[in-house]
Structure 1
Amino acid sequence: MELKERLGANDIGLADASLHVIRDMILLALDATEAPNLSEQNRIEARAALAEALDAMEGRA
């Protein structure tokens, strides 16, 4: 299934453009967890939460 199809069938009341912005923000936050001064425990927790949010937004949760 294409990302556009999943986003078009959203049930959280957001426009497709808003979902793309949210998705991009989640991906940027995941990149930020690669900072060398972030503790490993915080990095693991942050990445898990962000990945879960991305999955939920894209309808895989």
Structure 2
Amino acid sequence: MKEEKKKNSGCANIGIVSIILVFILPIWGLSGMIHGGSFIEGIQDSLKASISFIAVGVFTYWLYKTFGR
């Protein structure tokens, strides 16, 4: 039972992150408007930064799992 719950916890984490991103996107757009750009440009810049951050995190996690044994 505990193994099954442990296996399904990844899906819950992805759901929580998705919900948080939905609420953060408007804030990212407003920050773009403050800097003189449009609402969409602010969101695009923030998404590019987020994707880069996630890619670095996945790569670091992969390195840890591969060589951390």
TM-score (norm 1): 0.43
Q: From the CA coordinates, give the structure whose radius of gyration is larger.
A: 2
Higher relative contact order (CA 8 A, sep 6+): 1
TM-score (norm 2): 0.39
Higher helix share: 2
